[in-house]
Amino acid sequence: MGKMERVVAELPKDVFADIEEAVSAGEFSSVQDAVTTLATEWSTNRRADSPEFRAHALAMIEESRRDSHPGYPMEEVFAELRARYADPVSIKE
């Protein structure tokens, strides 16, 4: 993440209670971590809904459709991944 900016915000009591509950449950390390994560996810989703992102994604899909390379069967890809990462000690860099 880039440079951080400090923000002070007032939240509805029920929203703050939900965040504290998530922190207590171990979903986040702190209230600050929760708010940072949630704001970052909102911002990412907002950008993903932009016309620019949609145009870029559609262009990538169209480029993929024109690609004459046959691709790989999903079952083979997942089998290879399972075999490669089944034993974390044997992972080669």
Distance between CA atoms of 27 and 45, rounded to whole angstroms?
Answer: 20
Going by pLDDT thresholds of 50, 70 and 90, the confidence category of residue 91 is low
Q: Using the predicted structure, report yes or no on whether residue 28 has a pLDDT greater than 80.
A: yes
In the chain, where are the structural domains located? 10-68
Distance between CA atoms of 47 and 56, rounded to whole angstroms?
Answer: 12
> Is 19 within 8 Å of 34 (Cβ atoms)?
yes
The pLDDT of 4-16, averaged and rounded, is: 94
**DSSP symbol at 26:** T
Spell out where 21-69 has E strands: none
What pLDDT, in 10s, does the model give residues 33-64?
999 999 999 999 999 899 999 999 999 999 98
Q: Please give the pLDDT value at position 88.
A: 63
The pLDDT of 61-77, averaged and rounded, is: 88
The backbone torsions φ and ψ at residue 61, rounded to the nearest 5 degrees and listed phi first, read: -65, -45
Percent residues over pLDDT 90 in the chain:
67
